[in-house]
Amino acid sequence: MAKTILITGANAGIGLQTAEDLIKEGHHVILACRNLEKAQQAKLQLESMGTGQIDLIQLDLNSLKQVNRASDEILKKYADLDVMINNAGLISTHLDSTEDGFEKHFGVNYLGHFLWTLKLLPLLKKSEQGRIIHLSSIAHWVGSIQPHKFKAENNTNYHTFKSYGSSKLQNLLFSNLLAQQLQGSNVTSNALHPGVVDSELYRQLPKLQYMFVSLVLIPPTKPAKLIKQMALDATWANKNGQYASVQTPAMTSPKAKDMQLAQKLYDLSYDLVKEYL
């Protein structure tokens, strides 16, 4: 039976490849993208590849107001949702700020998805079995939770990789806390490291750094295969709070296992978005 699957950042890289694999199997995929022109092109490309229904929705994770608007649109349009794939993400080589003044990695990679997920959870609960999949990363190992750095203006000693890693730790802690909260319900929450993937993610890196990264790149088809399994396979039906990995062993850092830290992050994040909930 066709499932309804919502993917953020589905017009490029891992998200686009995952959408392609799902559409080829006849599933209904909602592409949530910030750039509607790019998304239209992706939709056209995907339509020629399979029979699944494809819908577009504009989502800019750079703004909590926009996330709120887009999630309200989803809530109005759809009666239920089977899978959410929280995939959109970026690496910013300089300190940058979201519309709400948050450091870019924190705001786009994590906090926007935090609000998105909490707003849309009721739709997943209406599905026979709802699944949430979070794109984390092996980079979570270098991450830490430093609330004073959430706002860009307070973010002294900015370091690209640590800042990106922190957002991927936040994705993982959120996945783990949700899994705990959802235990015994019809919804699961799991996370993954997709491997070091040939995508647009590294577009801002200096040439030398990109050269090192390019030595180990794998195609987006590899993580897309794992994401499809996590989204649909019966083998993942009862998995909750897991971390899967392509290319490297699925090992999580001590910080990622700390459920007190996960709860603290959840409470702080809830406070930051509560006006929209």
Q: Which residues bind ligand NAP (CB under 6 A)?
A: 8-9, 11-15, 33-35, 38, 59-62, 87-90, 108, 135, 137, 193-194, 196-197, 199-201
Q: Is 54 helix (H, G, I), strand (E, B) or coil?
A: strand
Of residues 35 and 186, the one with the C-beta less far from ligand NAP:
35
Of residues 57 and 265, the one with the C-beta less far from ligand NAP:
57
Q: In the bound complex, what is the minimum distance in angstroms from residue 94's beta carbon to ligand NAP?
A: 15
Q: In the bound complex, what is the minimum distance in angstroms from residue 4's beta carbon to ligand NAP?
A: 20
Of residues 37 and 275, the one with the C-beta less far from ligand NAP:
37
φ/ψ (deg, to 5) at 42: -65, -40
CA-CA distances (angstroms) from residue 89 to 99, 186, 225?
Answer: 16, 27, 19
Of residues 187 and 201, the one with the C-beta less far from ligand NAP:
201
Q: In the bound complex, what is the minimum distance in angstroms from residue 33's beta carbon to ligand NAP?
A: 6
Q: In the bound complex, what is the minimum distance in angstroms from residue 30's beta carbon to ligand NAP?
A: 13
Report the residue count for the chain.
Answer: 277
Catalytic sites, residue numbers: 164
Q: In the bound complex, what is the minimum distance in angstroms from residue 6's beta carbon to ligand NAP?
A: 13
The whole-angstrom separation of Cα 270 and Cα 277 is 9
What order do you get walking across the sheet with 54-58 strand by strand? 54-58, 28-33, 4-8, 83-86, 130-135, 187-193, 243-245
Q: Is 135 helix (H, G, I), strand (E, B) or coil?
A: strand
- Measuring CA to CA, which residue among 240, 202, 233 is closest to residue 220? 202
In the 8-state DSSP scheme, what is residue 12?
A: S
Question: Given phi > 0 = left and psi -120 to 50 = alpha, else beta, which region is 267?
Answer: alpha
Residue 180: is it exposed, middle or buried by C-beta count within 10 angstroms (0-12/13-18/19+)?
A: middle
Token duo for residue 10: 């589905």
Token duo for residue 66: 């926009």
Of residues 11 and 188, the one with the C-beta less far from ligand NAP:
11
Of residues 183 and 214, the one with the C-beta less far from ligand NAP:
214
Q: In the bound complex, what is the minimum distance in angstroms from residue 185's beta carbon to ligand NAP?
A: 25
Residue 95: is it exposed, middle or buried by C-beta count within 10 angstroms (0-12/13-18/19+)?
A: middle
